[in-house]
Structure 1
Amino acid sequence: MAAISCTLLVDDDETTNFLNQALLRRMAISDTVLVAGNGQEALDLMHTHCELPDSPTCPALILLDMKMPLMNGFEFLKAYAQRPKCQNPLVVIIMLTTSLHLHDVAQMKGLPIAGYLTKPLTRDKLKQILQDHFGQPAEDS
């Protein structure tokens, strides 16, 4: 059994999603990986997969891109926070960004995120997330 039952990748870049899925699979981190191309798709997936909060396909980890068309990471977080509490599972949300511009970092303060990382996602960054937020290291496969 993996460290996390389900991970949700939210990024508009298909190549990034493909590479991140491959990394999660190689490291055997999640039993299920869901992918959304923007914040609205992510909300729709959350609605579908988190109807029952203890559902094994309800994400325990969300890796959220900051800048996307239609609904970006900030807009997703605002909409997510407005959902009824019973529909929001306990989830670790990590914001992903290509830069740590001071304006972007300032915008992240006070958001319901567990932290932020610069892209690309790496084995070491994922191991750190597992240690910091799930109390266990990943199994290397």
Structure 2
Amino acid sequence: MKSVKTILLIDDDDTTNYLNHRLLARMEVAEDIRVVTNGEEALDYLVKAFSGAEGHPRPDLIFVDIKMSVMDGFEFLDEYQKFDEEKKLRTVMLMLTSSASFYDLERLKNYPEVRKHYSKPLAEGDVREIMEEYF
């Protein structure tokens, strides 16, 4: 199976982060898996990554939860859209959610950066599909 250099998990749920991190590490799909717990932390990380800061590799794949405290997934996406298109070009953005409400799924259509949504936690089949489809 293909692998990427860096994956960024954005979720405020420790259990979900643990399960997703463990699955991705076990499947060896990334050299580096970073975890942040809200949209603000993610934006801070990405500002550093996109500027080439040491210790902040640019993520090839981002998983972002919709419902988070501090800054939710939609607020994060609003800010993410402001990044230079050139910097976002090589990054695949996917949404994770535990409640795929019709309203949330319709709202995701406003964010072209989001390729697809998945229920959390990730399953092995999801990861295989993602790696085959996007990398």
The answer on 1:58 being equivalent to 2:58 is yes
- Checking the alignment, whether the CA contact within 8 Å between 1:38 and 1:69 is kept in structure 2 is yes
- Checking the alignment, whether the CA contact within 8 Å between 1:6 and 1:56 is kept in structure 2 is no
Corresponding residue for 1:114?
115
Superposed displacement of residue 87, structure 1 = 4.3
Corresponding residue for 2:14?
14
Q: Give unpaired runs (5+ residues) of structure 2.
A: none
- Checking the alignment, whether the CA contact within 8 Å between 2:45 and 2:56 is kept in structure 1 is no
Superposed displacement of residue 86, structure 1 = 4.7
Corresponding residue for 1:130?
131
Name the aligned partner's letter for residue 120 of structure 2: K
SS in 2 for 1:82: coil
Name the aligned partner's letter for residue 30 of structure 1: A
Superposed displacement of residue 51, structure 1 = 1.4
- Structure 1 segments (4+ residues) deviating >4 Å: none
Give me the whole-angstrom Cα distance separating, in 1, the residues matched to 2:64 and 2:99. 14
* Alpha-carbon displacement from aligned partner over 1:32-67 (angstroms, at most 9, x marks no partner): 1111100110111111222139x9821010011000
- Checking the alignment, whether the CA contact within 8 Å between 1:96 and 1:118 is kept in structure 2 is yes
Q: How many residues align?
A: 132
- Checking the alignment, whether the CA contact within 8 Å between 2:48 and 2:56 is kept in structure 1 is no
**Taking structure 2 as the reference length, what is the TM-score of the superposition?**
0.90
Q: Give unpaired runs (5+ residues) of structure 1.
A: 135-141
- Checking the alignment, whether the CA contact within 8 Å between 1:98 and 1:118 is kept in structure 2 is yes
**Taking structure 1 as the reference length, what is the TM-score of the superposition?**
0.86
Name the aligned partner's letter for residue 128 of structure 1: E
Alignment of 1:82-97 (within 5 A): 82-97=82-97
Superposed displacement of residue 26, structure 1 = 0.2
Corresponding residue for 1:46?
46
Give me the whole-angstrom Cα distance separating, in 1, the residues matched to 2:87 and 2:40. 16
Give me the whole-angstrom Cα distance separating, in 1, the residues matched to 2:50 and 2:33. 14
